[in-house]
Chains A and B, each alone.
Chain A
Amino acid sequence: MDQIFDIFLLEAVLNGVLLGGLLALLALGLNLVFGVIDVVWICYAELIMVGMYAIWWLHSAMGVHLALAFVAGILLVGVLGACLHQFIIRPVLSAEPINQLLVTGGVLFFLQAIATVAFGVEFRNIGVRLPGVNVGDMNFSLARMIAFGVALAAIAATYLFLTRTYMGTAIRAISQDRTIMPLMGVNPSRIYLLTSFMGGALAGLAACLLVLQYDVHPAIGLSFGPITFLICVLGGLGNLIGGFVAAFVFAQFISVGGFFFQLEWGYVLAFLFFIVVMFWKPEGLLSKRK
């Protein structure tokens, strides 16, 4: 009996690792935006939902090839991110920080409701079901493995972009000192716009990976939105590496907790863990003491 039990536990742990990669990608875009612009997009998960609907609509209703639909979805959500910044965040950039948080909350309600108006509350799926993969006695979903690989590749690409290119260096510089950089000839509003586009495009990429695994419906954002914020806060808002680590920690709580109890209890454990860590290290898991 012990033998079988351990294999199932191992399966839960490995599934948690796969989930961790996806969560890390979800957290990356949000973290990038926060790190550079200092604004939390509460509506981030709703941007992903818009991407999922776009892909579903293009592929299932219009018959566009799936790969093309993916590209269109990524671009669309990227542009949406840039618009979000230009038309909604920019007017309140100098207002109180909490107003910036709240204005994106308004966007959350708006996007959720407009999706309901346009597509109804039914669950939609693109009709692509990838097979499972058996390793020994363990069973893994191929969609999850692809998501894990793509997420890691995207994270690596973002990291290289930020550290190896001129534009990436400018982005990091802005996030370190908002007042000095404009004096050095960097145009902050262009950097903000580009960062918002990148944040949106990462949300679009996440939408591609999620649409392979889950049905899309207007409230889907609420099911993984909170967890994305908590991962970012746990890793230290704006700290990309912290968010990466925190995603894997959270995923283990959800996967292994859900293995021993029910799925909700995995989430409850993860959230309680989050609250405890906030008291222990308020600036996030990987914070440096100031």
Chain B
Amino acid sequence: MTMRSISLILLAALAAVPLFGPGNYPLHLMVMGLLWGFIYTSWSIMGRLGMVSFGHGAFLGIGAYTVVLLWNLWGISPWIGALVALVITVVVAVMIGYPCFRFKIVGHYFALTTLALSEVVRLIIVGLREQTGGSLGITPKSALSDGVTASVGALQFSSKAVWFYLMLGCWLFALYVWHRVDRSMSRMALEAISEDEDAAASVGINVNRTKLSITVLSAVMTCLGGVLYAQYQQYVNPETVSGIGISLQMVFGVIAGGMFVMLGPTVGAVFLMLLSEGLRVLIGNEVLGVDITIYGLLLILFIIYMPKGILGTALDRVQAGGAKR
């Protein structure tokens, strides 16, 4: 059997899960795993090419808050809201990306500039507390009632299975984009750029345009993740969708899973989710902070001892084993 047929069978098995009625909680976990897998994969599209952004919380926040605010204030459908959010995201990504790349802001400086961006978005959300509810967060007005379990116009579904297939589609789309970028000339160009910008430019690579297009792609997909997060959770809060915390979490999820392999970010997302859920079940909700303590400790250990991430290291092992035989 080829890799292709194995992955198709696994995918079919995954898609069939809701048909067996696994119960609300496992289904919820799978939906969240797919959603964060989608978002982390979006981040890794630019992260793996040497552009480590700490600002993706900004795009997530723009996506989540734009749809909720337009829906709550003026009753504008989240479909249109998502389009508006995407346009805002493109504008913001270009406004930040273009000067950054034009003036060769890389490495630490790029990470910290984008960190400022995600803090700006968080503070603006908190500052507009009349409209956004500030730090308390906001709930989109429900379009569902006793008889109505789905509203396509309002992008609200009470059935978790609908969300599962929606997220599955988005996640597959992200993997497809990752794959296309992986096989494209842009990736060759960007790897050359992350090694040496001047040398890359000297062989005729348009450094700024290549970096900018990947950045916009990654930002737009992250924004879409924010839209889906808000519509699925039916609650958003400035701390959970923007600012330094979530931005760092995205980076760590990807590092933990493996930045340079296609399913790495997804493995990271599932790993982090199972870790926090598992610890919550084991320890309970009484003792706050234990899960994050272990999470922080693991991140330190990962970066020191396993910088390629879980999946990256595992694949290396398999390959090394194969070579010996």
Residues of A whose CB lies within 8 Å of any CB of B are 40, 42, 88, 91-92, 95-99, 101-103, 105-117, 120-121, 218, 222, 225-226, 229-230, 233, 237, 262, 264-265, 267-268, 271-272, 274-275, 278-279, 282
Contacts and interface: CB of A to CB of B under 8 A. Distances in A.
Given A113-B293, A264-B126, A99 B115 contact: no
B304 A92 contact: yes
A233 B290 contact: no
B251 interface: yes
Question: Which 10 A/B pairs are nearest by Cβ-Cβ distance?
Answer: A116-B289, A110-B296, A109-B296, A106-B299, A113-B292, A264-B127, A279-B99, A106-B300, A113-B293, A113-B289
B124 interface: yes
B78 to A, nearest CB: 26
Given A98-B111, A117-B287, A106 B116 contact: no
Interface of B: 52, 96, 99-100, 102-105, 107-109, 111-113, 115-117, 119-120, 123-124, 126-127, 243-245, 248, 251-252, 255, 287-293, 295-300, 302-304, 307
B143 to A, nearest CB: 31
Contacts of B117: 271, 275
A109 B124 contact: no
A279 B103 contact: yes
Contacts of A91: 304
Contact of B109 (A95, A226, A282): A282
Nearest to B113: A278
Contacts of A88: 300, 304
Given A225-B244, A278-B105, A278-B113, A105 B299 contact: yes
A226 B96 contact: no
Nearest to A284: B109
Contacts of B116: 226, 230, 271, 274-275
A113 B52 contact: no
B112 A109 contact: no
Which residue, of A101, A109, A113, has the highest number of chain B Cβ atoms within 10 A? A109
A110 B293 contact: yes
Given A88-B304, A268-B124, A117 B115 contact: no
B103 A106 contact: no
B289 A117 contact: yes
B288 A275 contact: no
B299 A109 contact: yes
A200 B295 CA distance: 24
B124 to A, nearest CB: 6
Contacts of A110: 292-293, 296-297, 299-300
A50 to B, nearest CB: 14
A226 to B, nearest CB: 5
B62 to A, nearest CB: 15
Contact of B111 (A101, A116, A268): A101
B289 A222 contact: no
A117 B304 contact: no
Given A102-B255, A117-B288, A264-B127, A226 B244 contact: yes
B303 A121 contact: no
23 contacts: A40-B112, A91-B304, A92-B303, A98-B108, A102-B251, A102-B255, A103-B303, A106-B298, A106-B300, A107-B300, A108-B296, A112-B292, A113-B291, A113-B295, A113-B296, A218-B289, A264-B126, A265-B123, A275-B116, A278-B99, A279-B99, A279-B102, A279-B103
Contacts of A268: 120, 123-124, 127
Given A105-B299, A233-B109, A226 B119 contact: yes
A271 B248 CA distance: 18
B303 A271 contact: no
Contacts of A282: 103-105, 109
A272 B103 CA distance: 17
A23 to B, nearest CB: 15
B243 to A, nearest CB: 8
A106 B303 contact: yes
A18 B260 CA distance: 47
Nearest to B243: A222
Contacts of A97: 107-108
A40 B108 contact: yes
A107 B300 CA distance: 7
A114 B307 CA distance: 24
Nearest to A222: B244
A101 B108 CA distance: 8
Contacts of B251: 102, 105
Contacts of A95: 303, 307
